[in-house]
Amino acid sequence: MRHDLYPKRGHPVPVGTWGYKTSDKNVRYVILQRLKQERIAKGINTKRLAYKIGIDQPHLSKWESGKMLPRLPNLIAWANSLGFELQLVPA
């Protein structure tokens, strides 16, 4: 399956294929980095965002650093909290 992040305000941000193969880790990292950039641009700290998503702050920090990868429901909640919509698009 192919996943793209679409900012609600307009243009799609293609991020590639989401999967569980090791070669796809780079794609997931791109998504995480894009969400981190958006959080910083909006001036939201990790503690506030973690509360909004319903997780603890150290967990979010591990996602942003790439030490852990979020499950899809958490990734969707994270994207939505920053004004993005995660859409599953068939390959």
Dump pLDDT digits (tens) for 5-64.
Answer: 444 444 444 444 444 444 456 667 788 888 999 999 999 999 999 999 999 999 999 989
Q: Is the pTM of this model over 0.85?
A: no
Dump pLDDT digits (tens) for 50-72.
Answer: 999 999 999 999 989 888 888 88
Cα separations in angstroms, 78 against 22, 23, 35, 45, 53: 23, 23, 8, 13, 6
**Which helix or strand (DSSP H or E) is residue 74 part of?**
helix 72-81
pLDDT at 46: 93
